[in-house]
C-alpha cells in the first residue's frame, strides 16, 4: 500500500507567499496601475496602425492604415486604448463612443479605438457594435508601449483615453479599471472646439 502525501501550507504562510510574489513582480495587490508615460502637455507619439475595411460583395476586405499625424492641424483625436475586444467593459465603452459619435464629430474630433487584438478580431468587434469609427490593431504592442499603457503581465493595453488637440498635444488623460464614460472626453473636445 503506497502512502499518499499531501502538501499542507498553513493559511498564513500561503498569504505571505502570495504577497512576496506580488511584491517581487513590482505590483502591490489591489494597487492602481502605473500612470501612462505620456502625460497632459506632451506631444502625442505618432503612430501608424491598421484596420480592415467592411467586406465587399465577394467577402473581401482591404487592410488600411491610420497615421495619427494625418489629423494634425485639422482635427482633435480621442485615442481610446482598451484591453480586449468582446469583453463586457470594452463592449460597453466602445458602444458608448458609438452613441456619441455625432457629438464628437460636431466638436471636430475623430475617435480611434485601439487594442492589441488582431485586425480580424477588431473588425468583428466593430461590426458587432456597428461602430462608425476605426478600431485599430496594435498587435505588435509598439504603440501601447510608446504611450506607456502596455501591461506586460497581462499582455494587454490598460484602459486609457488620450484627448489630443489639433496641434498633436495631449490635453487630457483618463484611466480606469472599468469602462470609461466618454462624456469626460467629449467635454474636453467641446472646449477644444472653441480654441482656434
37 contact partners, CB below 8 Å, separation of at least 6: 147, 148
69 contact partners, CB below 8 Å, separation of at least 6: 46, 168
- Per DSSP, helices labelled H in the chain are 11-24, 88-99, 101-106, 119-129, 142-146, 183-194
9 contact partners, CB below 8 Å, separation of at least 6: 17
Contact 121, 85 (CB under 8 A): yes
Instruction: Choose the catalytic residue: 52, 80, 90, 135.
Output: 90
Q: Which three cell numbers stand for residue 174?
A: 483618463
**Active-site residue 189, yes or no?**
no
Task: Give the catalytic positions in this structure.
Answer: 90
Amino acid at each position: 500500500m503506497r502512502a499518499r502525501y499531501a502538501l499542507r501550507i498553513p493559511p498564513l504562510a500561503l498569504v505571505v507567499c502570495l504577497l512576496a510574489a506580488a511584491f517581487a513582480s513590482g505590483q502591490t495587490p489591489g494597487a492602481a496601475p502605473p500612470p501612462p508615460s505620456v502625460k497632459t502637455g506632451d506631444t502625442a507619439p505618432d503612430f501608424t496602425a491598421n484596420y480592415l475595411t467592411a467586406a465587399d460583395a465577394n467577402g473581401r476586405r482591404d487592410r488600411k492604415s491610420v497615421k495619427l499625424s494625418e489629423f494634425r492641424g485639422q482635427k482633435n483625436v480621442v485615442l481610446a486604448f482598451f484591453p480586449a475586444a468582446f469583453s463586457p467593459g470594452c463592449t460597453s465603452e466602445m458602444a458608448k463612443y458609438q452613441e456619441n459619435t455625432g457629438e464628437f464629430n460636431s466638436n471636430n474630433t475623430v475617435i480611434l479605438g485601439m487594442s492589441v487584438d488582431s485586425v480580424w478580431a477588431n473588425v468583428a468587434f466593430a461590426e458587432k457594435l456597428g461602430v462608425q469609427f476605426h478600431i485599430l490593431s496594435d498587435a505588435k504592442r509598439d504603440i501601447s508601449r510608446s504611450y506607456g499603457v502596455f501591461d506586460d503581465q497581462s499582455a494587454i493595453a490598460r484602459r486609457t483615453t488620450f484627448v489630443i488637440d489639433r496641434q498633436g498635444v495631449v490635453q487630457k488623460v483618463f484611466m480606469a479599471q472599468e469602462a470609461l464614460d466618454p462624456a469626460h472626453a467629449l467635454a474636453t473636445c467641446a472646449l477644444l472646439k472653441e480654441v482656434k
